[in-house]
Amino acid sequence: MTNMKVQLTEDVQNAIRSGAPVVALESTIISHGMPYPQNYEMALAVESEVRKNGATPATIAIVNGIPCAGLSETEIESFAKKATQISKVSRRDIPIVMAQGKDGATTVASTMIIAERAGISIFATGGIGGVHREAETTMDISADLEELAQTNVAVISSGAKSILDIGLTLEYLETKGVPVLGYQTAELPAFYTRESGFKVDTRVDSPADVASILHAKWSMGLNGGVVIANPVPQEYSLDFKEMERVIESALTEMKRIGIKGKDSTPYLLGKVKELTAGKSLDTNIQLVLNNARVAAQIAVKFSEQGRLM
Ligand code: PSU
Ligand code: MN
């Protein structure tokens, strides 16, 4: 579905028109996921990684009320510098930020929406939102999951952080009919670590095999996304037990000071970073780069196979 409401940069528009590979990237990770200047450097490095692997990057955000696919370096810098002054925009916030003519950093959910409207099928990020721990009482379930249930975009991530209940997140995705593929792994990674103790639905070993699954799903009219879980490279993975301890203490602190709603995820991410003395930031950057690389390779195969159909 294409829609005139999304503004494209010239290179993104040319790539989409000609059916060339394009990879969407989100902006919440820039404004709310990492500090400046690492967020700015990360955003540019990720775009360059996508290009090196044969695809066109399209960083997605709402700029002055306009949903955009493809940002200039100056725009990326502004999203990186203004950081949390820019609102975090998920599905429910899109119409408000558009009508008010403001800037918005897009989450996985809203990036998927804008990517789909622009005609982009492949999207790389760090981690997806999910069912939070104790969601049975808080009802805190990320809008990312509902988006994956209905919007036709494949999301390459390093799984879900264990700030979430990974088991419940997988149950939710199963109910909603969202395939969870492990890229060269049978185990779902837990963002900072290659292990989580949970299995994926299917292990897939090559970009071409992932692309075939995407074409099969969408050509059958099975609407919705696909989660492709790509583990952090071994040399950057952190210790599972140590991360569990850090996350437990971040969760306890969050409960104590009463943070809720859309502020939960950014709070937990910041606290984890603080408690690991920045070690988690380096891991975060490396896994995003790795996801961008694999996403570009999948986009190349997805586009090649699309031409043969
Ligand atoms: N997980 C991360 N890094 C992030 C996010 C999640 O490891 O930056 C961001 C993504 O933009 C994701 C959003 O879509 O948080 C989920 O927020 P919420 O739980 O409020 O839906
Ligand atoms: Mn939430």
Q: How far is CA 14 from its chain centroid?
A: 24
Give the residue among 80, 73, 125 at the shortest CA–CA distance from 290.
125
pLDDT for res 4: 60
pLDDT for res 156: 98
What digits encode the pLDDT tens for the residues 22-67? 999 999 999 999 999 999 999 999 999 999 999 999 999 999 999 9
Starting from the CA of residue 113, give the closest ligand: 1
Give the contacts of 58 (CB within 8 A, at least 6 positions apart). Answer: 8, 9, 12, 22, 23, 24, 25, 69, 70, 115, 118, 120
CA distance 155 to 253: 31
Instruction: Report the nearest-CA residue for atom 16 of ligand 1.
Output: 129
Starting from the CA of residue 88, give the closest ligand: 1
| pLDDT tier, 273 (very low <50, low <70, confident <90, very high otherwise) | confident
Give the contacts of 186 (CB within 8 A, at least 6 positions apart). Answer: 199, 200, 203
CA distance 118 to 113: 9
Give the residue among 36, 6, 57, 5 at the shortest CA–CA distance from 292.
57
Q: Has 26 been annotated as catalytic?
A: yes
The alpha carbon of 90 and the centre of ligand 2 are apart by a number of angstroms equal to 10
Residues in contact with ligand 1 by the CB-under-6-Å rule are 26, 28-29, 33, 90, 107-108, 126-127, 129, 142-144, 161, 191, 262, 265, 269
Which secondary structure element, helix H or strand E, spans residue 247, and what is its range?
A: helix 240-257
pTM, 2 dp = 0.96
CA distance 227 to 128: 9
Nearest atom of ligand 1 to the alpha carbon of 284: 7
Pocket test for ligand 1, best of 27, 93, 108, 263 (most atoms within 8 A of CB): 108
Per the CB < 8 A criterion, the answer to whether 169 and 161 are in contact is no
The alpha carbon of 123 and the centre of ligand 2 are apart by a number of angstroms equal to 21
Nearest atom of ligand 1 to the alpha carbon of 265: 19
The alpha carbon of 305 and the centre of ligand 1 are apart by a number of angstroms equal to 31
Task: Please give the DSSP secondary-structure letter assigned to residue 294.
Answer: H
Per the CB < 8 A criterion, the answer to whether 159 and 188 are in contact is yes
Q: Has 116 been annotated as catalytic?
A: no
Per the CB < 8 A criterion, the answer to whether 211 and 228 are in contact is no
pLDDT at residue 1 is higher than 60: no
pLDDT for res 218: 98
Task: Please give the DSSP secondary-structure letter assigned to residue 236.
Answer: G
| pLDDT tier, 162 (very low <50, low <70, confident <90, very high otherwise) | confident
| pLDDT tier, 2 (very low <50, low <70, confident <90, very high otherwise) | very low
CA distance 294 to 88: 26
What digits encode the pLDDT tens for the residues 92-142? 999 999 999 999 999 999 999 999 999 999 999 999 999 999 999 999 999
What digits encode the pLDDT tens for the residues 179-223? 999 999 999 999 999 999 999 999 999 999 999 999 999 999 999
pLDDT for res 271: 92
The alpha carbon of 286 and the centre of ligand 2 are apart by a number of angstroms equal to 25
Amino acid identity for residue 122 in this structure: I
